[in-house]
């Protein structure tokens, strides 16, 4: 296919909805954690939308949205208000959604992203508070199709994060989502899992000729349920629009749905004008006034963000890849910090050693236990540090260290205990006689390798060395074995 994208610049803006992690819902005391709950069990007159009941603002949700806004470099308003967004749909219990219209809590921020081409800053238009809707479950039976309503989700705190149309490629959009997810998890505001539905993304995309400053007609894409599908939908849509423009067609301003199976977007509804939601101030809730102390208190409690963590890890001597991988997840970063702290004073290479183990053996455990966090890793950081120190001090070899690591995982014992119990200490100078005996027996038992060696094949030495290491179960000092072997073989020449 001839690429049609060379003539146009792609312009992308994203709207992300995230469910907050709070104990109760936004305006009532029902539990907000409905995962695994029987449908319609987390309900009360407020989130059922019965007349005559009054909502109460969840302070924890306000704390979290302020933390999100501050982390995204937004201005936090000392005065904002809630508004009713009116529309009729079966998932909306009251016939309106409590949201924020003209006075959102947070505005005018940005998020810095690292992409292959370098650093890129994406503007954040606004971050506002609203409530989630009920969930519709669509079913089919012989008589036709029908829908069920689960009200458990109704009223769960929802934050909408609207970006500026600053992204110029599906790659940038993906980088934005990944960094937003990291940030939300790092500050503990949301699980931010697209597949679980607590992180949802709609994308606005338009094309314009390079050099043009006016925006082209935009299309909104919905129904994407993974980062991959957002990326694929944007890739598809930019090609579809480019082809249409080249053929002289007008782009229709519309909402299109992503069809994962077919890999295409499909027109859902044409927007002739902006939807009229007839917003008006929510009469049952007072305006929200946030004191400077309240905001500054939250600012002081925001943990180190992923980008700052990464910089700090680089300053410890890690490379970009190591620092990036270790900083992207909170529990991983915490484990790394604890490990470095436990190693401090015991090795000058503490950060590098910690990173090697984190990205090696520990990452392997992490990969094998999908859905678990490193905070659940059975070996505590100070125990792992003990193992690393034993290796660094030459008490055990690297090969044995890996065996001990496995034993620590399976038996829950400490590294020193395992080394003593199983007699795994490295065989060094003090075990010279023992090693010489093993070296001699290996030479005796391997005539072919010996002949090869005497014929000048250097690979034979490697083979014999391997045999000695095998007989000692990896415990022998590698360099020592090599010199002993060479001495014995020299004597035979
Ligand atoms: Zn309720």
Q: Are the CB atoms for 155 and 136 separated by under 8 Å?
A: no
Ranges under pLDDT 70 in the chain: 1-4, 271-275
Q: Are the CB atoms for 493 and 479 separated by under 8 Å?
A: no
Position 487 scores a pLDDT of 83
CA distance linking residue 304 with residue 294, whole number of Å = 19
Q: What angle do CA 202, 206, 211 make, to 5 degrees?
A: 145
Ligand 1 centre from 133 Cα, in Å? 12
Ligand 1 centre from 186 Cα, in Å? 28
Ligand 1 centre from 11 Cα, in Å? 40
Q: Are the CB atoms for 178 and 66 separated by under 8 Å?
A: no
Ligand 1 centre from 132 Cα, in Å? 12
Ligand 1 centre from 57 Cα, in Å? 12
Ligand 1 centre from 81 Cα, in Å? 21
270 CB-near residues (< 8 Å, 6+ apart): 252, 253, 254, 255
Ligand 1 centre from 241 Cα, in Å? 44
Give phi and psi for 186, each to the nearest 5. Answer: -60, -40
Position 114 scores a pLDDT of 80
Beta strands across the sheet bearing 96-99: 96-99, 83-86, 280-281
Ligand 1 centre from 39 Cα, in Å? 13
Ligand 1 centre from 358 Cα, in Å? 43
Ligand 1 centre from 299 Cα, in Å? 30
We find that the CATH architecture of domain 429-492 is Orthogonal Bundle (1.10)
**How many whole angstroms from its chain centre is CA 385?**
26
Q: Are the CB atoms for 391 and 349 separated by under 8 Å?
A: no
**How many whole angstroms from its chain centre is CA 150?**
29
Q: Are the CB atoms for 126 and 183 separated by under 8 Å?
A: no
Ligand 1 centre from 37 Cα, in Å? 14
Ligand 1 centre from 92 Cα, in Å? 14
- For the chain, what's the residue count? 493
Beta-bridged to residue 259, according to DSSP, are 264
Ligand 1 centre from 297 Cα, in Å? 29
Position 274 scores a pLDDT of 60
Question: What is the domain partition of the chain in residue ranges?
Answer: 5-294, 304-421, 429-492
Ligand 1 centre from 89 Cα, in Å? 19
Ligand 1 centre from 131 Cα, in Å? 12
Position 1 scores a pLDDT of 45
* CB atoms near residue 398 (< 10 Å): 9
Position 475 scores a pLDDT of 80
- Summarize pLDDT for 28-81 with one digit per residue, the tens: 999 999 988 999 999 999 999 898 899 999 999 999 999 999 999 999 999 999
Q: Are the CB atoms for 468 and 419 separated by under 8 Å?
A: no
- Whole-model pTM: value is 0.79
CA distance linking residue 322 with residue 335, whole number of Å = 14
* CB atoms near residue 228 (< 10 Å): 12
CA distance linking residue 80 with residue 125, whole number of Å = 15
CA distance linking residue 62 with residue 159, whole number of Å = 10
Three-state DSSP string of the chain: CCCCHHHEEEEEEEEEEEECCCCECCCCCCECCCCCCCCCCCCCHHHHCCCCCCCCCCHHHHHHHHHHHHHCCCEECCEECCEEEECCCCCCCCCEEEECCCCCCEEEEEEEEEECCEEEEEEEEEEEEEECCCEEEEEEECCEEEEEEEHHHCCCEEEEEEECCCECCHHHHHHHHHHHHHHHHHCCCCCCCCCCCCEEEEEEEEEEECCCCCCCCCEEEECCCCHHHHHHHHHHHHHHHHHHHHCCCCCCCEEEEEECCCCEEEEEEECCCCCCCCCEECCCCCCEECCHHHHHHHHHHCCCCHHHHHHHHHHCCCCHHHHHHHHCCHHHHHHHHHHHHHHCCCCCCHHHHHHHHHHHHHHHHHHHCCCCCHHHCCCCHHHHHHHHHHHHCCCCCHHHHHHHHHHHHHHCCCHHHHHHHCCCCCECHHHHHHHHHHHHHHHHHCHHHHHHHHCCCCHHHHHHHHHHHHHCCCCECHHHHHHHHHHHHHHHC
Q: Is the C-alpha dihedral spanning 31, 99, 162, 251 positive or negative?
A: positive
Ligand 1 centre from 223 Cα, in Å? 27
Q: Are the CB atoms for 248 and 50 separated by under 8 Å?
A: no
Ligand 1 centre from 135 Cα, in Å? 15
Ligand 1 centre from 45 Cα, in Å? 6
Ligand 1 centre from 31 Cα, in Å? 8
């Amino acid at each position: 296919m001839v690429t049609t994208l060379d003539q146009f610049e792609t312009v992308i803006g994203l709207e992300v909805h995230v469910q907050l992690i709070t104990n109760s819902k936004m305006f009532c005391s029902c539990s907000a954690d409905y995962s695994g709950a029987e449908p319609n069990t987390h309900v009360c007159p407020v989130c059922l939308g019965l007349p005559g009941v009054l909502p109460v603002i969840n302070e924890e949700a306000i704390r979290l949205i302020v933390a999100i806004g501050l982390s995204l470099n937004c201005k936090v308003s000392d005065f904002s208000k809630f508004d009713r967004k009116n529309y009729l749909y079966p998932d909306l219990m009251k016939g309106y959604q409590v949201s924020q219209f003209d006075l959102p809590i947070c505005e005018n921020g940005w998020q810095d992203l690292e992409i292959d081409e370098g650093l890129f800053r994406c503007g954040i238009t606004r971050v506002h508070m609203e409530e989630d809707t009920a969930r519709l479950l669509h079913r089919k039976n012989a008589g036709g199709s029908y829908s069920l309503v689960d009200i458990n989700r109704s009223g769960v705190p929802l934050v909408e994060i609207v970006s500026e149309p600053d992204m110029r490629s599906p790659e940038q959009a993906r980088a934005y989502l990944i960094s937003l997810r990291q940030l939300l998890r790092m500050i503990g505001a949301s699980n931010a899992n697209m597949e679980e539905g607590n992180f949802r993304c709609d994308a606005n995309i338009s094309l314009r000729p390079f050099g043009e400053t006016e925006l082209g007609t935009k299309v909104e894409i919905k129904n994407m349920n993974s980062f991959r599908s957002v990326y694929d939908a944007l890739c598809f849509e930019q090609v579809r629009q480019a082809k249409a423009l080249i053929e002289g067609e007008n782009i229709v301003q519309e909402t299109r749905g992503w069809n994962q199976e077919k890999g295409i977007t499909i027109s859902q509804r044409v927007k002739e004008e902006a939807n009229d939601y007839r917003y008006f101030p929510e009469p049952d809730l007072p305006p929200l006034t946030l004191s400077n102390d309240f905001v500054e208190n939250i600012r002081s409690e925001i943990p180190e963000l992923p980008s700052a963590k990464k910089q700090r890890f680089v300053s410890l001597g890690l490379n970009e890849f190591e620092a990036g991988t270790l900083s992207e997840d909170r529990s991983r970063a915490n484990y790394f910090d604890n490990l470095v702290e436990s190693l401090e004073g015991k090795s000058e290479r503490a950060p590098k050693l910690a990173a090697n183990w984190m990205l090696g053996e520990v990452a392997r455990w992490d990969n094998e236990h999908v859905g678990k966090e490193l905070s659940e890793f059975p070996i505590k950081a100070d125990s792992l540090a003990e193992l690393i120190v034993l290796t660094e001090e030459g008490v055990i070899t690297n090969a044995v260290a890996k065996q001990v690591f496995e034993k620590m995982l399976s038996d829950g014992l400490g590294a020193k205990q395992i080394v003593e119990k199983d007699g795994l200490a490295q065989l060094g100078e003090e075990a010279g006689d023992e090693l010489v005996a093993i070296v001699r027996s290996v030479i005796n038992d391997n005539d072919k390798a010996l002949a090869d060696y005497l014929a000048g094949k250097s690979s034979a030495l490697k083979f014999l060395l391997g045999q000695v290491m095998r007989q000692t179960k990896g415990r022998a000092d590698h360099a020592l074995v090599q010199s002993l072997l060479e001495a014995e073989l020299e004597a035979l020449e």
